[in-house]
Amino acid sequence: MRISPYGSLIVALVTPFDAGLEVHYARARSLAARLVSEGCDGVVVSGTTGESPTLTAEEKNRLVAEIKEELGDKARVWAGTSGYNTKESVELTRRADAAGADGILAVTPYYNKPSQEGLYRHFRAIAEETGLPIMLYNVPGRTGVNMLPETVLRLAEIRNIVAIKEASGSIDQSSQILASCPDNFYVFSGDDSLTLPILSVGGSGVVSVAAHVVARRLRDMLDFYREGELTKARDLHLRLYGLFKVLFITTNPVPVKTALELCGTPCGGFRLPLCPPHEKEKAHIARVLVDLGLSENSG
């Protein structure tokens, strides 16, 4: 496990909505504060788990400002700013910087499937417009393009590109990056279920969805691993594995928002094109939560 200055447990925050599907800023602040109190070192605001494609630029900026005001120096606030338009991504990054973000989470452009050179130029353009640390985000299952280790290593040479949220599902890919990256570049798992395997090859932690409901247990798992209590870390991983998988039973963040509601922390509905899970999916989520002692509601 490579210890990073950015901590090891970062939560990819959902965006709470009110009954009219307007952003519920007070609830977002409260949720972020609770998760930090339960052991999260950082919070990603307006990332894809936060339904960023449906948020306006103004909503994204206000979320950053409000949550930074709420957390102060207790945790780092990462702003999701990248999309499929480099010029727009650069502008969103500038605005997030001005709103008080502590770092940028920049996902690979989706739909237009740029080449590896195009990916390099996209992220370099963002990095040139901010002094904030940038965490790359590779999630080919959602974007349609896989950023190869060779491209990541080129980007890691840029001063303020400091980490990657790696969600390709490939331990080989994380291993290739970690075998050759600078000592001050860090790999975070983008999949809760692969956190422990990625730690074992030198990863630094996780940008987590499951932390919304099991932050304290994930904090313990990461701390056990760091302290050499490998059996305890493994046992926690295996205990939580069913939750890790059920939170992706349908499109993220639909399951985790449903889980929060079942655990007594409602975060509202979903902006189209996302919609609620069907009853079988909700019942499956509920059963896993009951099994873990997180909810008494069996659906």
8 A C-beta contact, residue 299 and residue 283: yes
* pTM to 2 decimal places: 0.95
Residues 6+ apart with CB under 8 A from 254: 270, 274, 275, 276, 277
Write down the pLDDT at residue 82.
83
Write down the pLDDT at residue 40.
98
Q: What is the CATH number of domain 9-229?
A: 3.20.20.70
Question: What is the distance between the alpha carbons of residues 166 and 52, in angstroms, rounded to a whole number?
Answer: 19
The set of catalytic residues is 137, 165
Q: Is the pLDDT of residue 168 over 60?
A: yes
Q: Is the pLDDT of residue 171 over 60?
A: yes
Q: Is the pLDDT of residue 298 over 60?
A: no
Task: Note the pLDDT tens digit of each residue in 44-88.
Answer: 999 999 999 999 999 999 999 999 999 999 999 999 998 889 999
Write down the pLDDT at residue 61.
96
Query: If you ran DSSP here, which 8-state letter would residue 270 be given?
Result: -
Write down the pLDDT at residue 295.
78
Locate the domains of the chain by residue range: 9-229
Q: Where are the alpha helices (DSSP H) in the chain?
A: 25-37, 57-71, 86-99, 116-127, 140-143, 149-155, 171-180, 195-200, 211-226, 230-246, 254-262, 279-291
Q: Rounded mean pLDDT of 104-112? A: 94
Q: pLDDT-derived band of residue 296, with 50, 70 and 90 as boundaries?
A: low
Q: pLDDT-derived band of residue 191, with 50, 70 and 90 as boundaries?
A: very high
Q: pLDDT-derived band of residue 27, with 50, 70 and 90 as boundaries?
A: very high
Query: If you ran DSSP here, which 8-state letter would residue 278 be given?
Result: P
Q: pLDDT-derived band of residue 249, with 50, 70 and 90 as boundaries?
A: very high
Task: Note the pLDDT tens digit of each residue in 258-276.
Answer: 999 999 999 999 999 999 9
What token pair was written down for 183? 């000592």
* Average pLDDT taken over every residue of the chain: 96
8 A C-beta contact, residue 236 and residue 217: yes
Helix count and strand count (H, E) for the chain = 12, 8
Paired residues of 103 in beta bridges:
78
Q: Rounded mean pLDDT of 213-235? A: 98
